[in-house]
Amino acid sequence: MNQKIKWGILGPGRIANAFAKDLAHLPEAQIVAVGSRSEERAAEFALKHNIPNAYGSYEALIQDPNVDIIYVATPHSEHRENVLACLLGGKAVICEKSFTVNAAELEELIQVAREKQVFLMEAMWTRFLPTIHKVREWLASGAIGDVRMVDVRFGNRAEWIPESRLFNPTLAGGTLLDVGIYCVSFISMIYGTQPSTIQSLAHIGTTGVDEEFSALFGYEGRQTANLMAALRIKTKHETIISGTEGEIRVPSFWNAKTAELSVYGKQVERFEDCAAPIGYMYEAAEAMRCLREGKIESDMMPLDESLGIMRTMDALRGGWGMKYPSE
């Protein structure tokens, strides 16, 4: 695959717009098609991003022989159906987080992808950012010793629109699948495993979804993690990774541009990413690298880890007694 890798966009919403803008920074990538349930929306998106083909159905996009890989950016509740259709159509996929509504749905997608030998990856863009690469280098080098505690928080005060995807249970709304997943996934990246014990409290709002929650994770090796996420409370978007020799602080960790390494309270190193793009280009670059190398999944965001993260989020919701209508 020496020529440009040709992308299709499934679901031309806000995140898809950001993704398309960032993809323009990769000379080896080209968006050749967009699919929507609305011909008008597809045409508007295509015009905005100079895309040659606009389809008024997802099926038409999937059937386009020129498309190598599809970026799925629909609401959580549609991911299983949309990704499955892409895989059955032989299209490689990266799917916006959260990957699916629950672990059972993701198990099905992983099984199909592996049976058909088609590339599949969760679009957890945070993991591929240069700043997070630096954080992982610091951790791998033992710069802060043995990691013992991780504190992560991500609270937004979203506009109260009950029928919106954020608060509508039919669309799998709520804090956990929208912003809480950043916290759960980041902790998974640090520890490389899922918690053995979970304690959590959540406030379930009037629409039936979690509007904020706090959780404490425990691990077999003495490690702990504390996380807090919210849709109706504004907080710092920060993570602090504490080890036996120091700490790493990452302000705005989910779209990280800076990180600070301190050893015994003394700042040793500060990393800053001055690149202009938002950061979606890095996950796209990883997907394209995998395609060129003939891989069906990424080592940086493995499918088994994505499944583990979904199981942890299922356990959190189980503790709250919260289910979506589709379950």
Measured between alpha carbons, how far is 235 from 291 in angstroms, rounded to an integer?
38
Which amino acid is residue 170, in one-letter code?
T
> Would you state the pLDDT for residue 285?
97
| d(C-alpha 273, C-alpha 259), whole Å | 9
Residue 161's pLDDT is: 94
Which pLDDT tens digit goes with each residue over 158-196?
A: 999 999 999 999 999 999 999 999 999 999 999 999 999
pLDDT for the residue 221: 85
Q: What are phi and psi of 138, to 5 degrees?
A: -60, -45
Residue 251: its pLDDT value, please? 95
Q: Torsion angle, CA of 201/106/181/231, rounded to 10 degrees?
A: -70
pTM for this entry = 0.95
pLDDT at res. 165: 92
Residues 6+ apart with CB under 8 A from 301: 121, 122, 124, 127, 128, 283, 286
> Helix, strand or coil for residue 260?
strand
pLDDT given for residue 2 in this prediction: 57
* Residue-level pLDDT at 277: 74
Report the length, in residues, of the chain. Answer: 327
Q: Give the model's pLDDT for residue 8.
A: 98
Cβ-Cβ contacts under 8 Å for 84 (sequence gap 6 or more): 108, 109, 112
Strand partners, 263: 246, 266
The residues of the chain scoring below 70 in pLDDT are 1-2
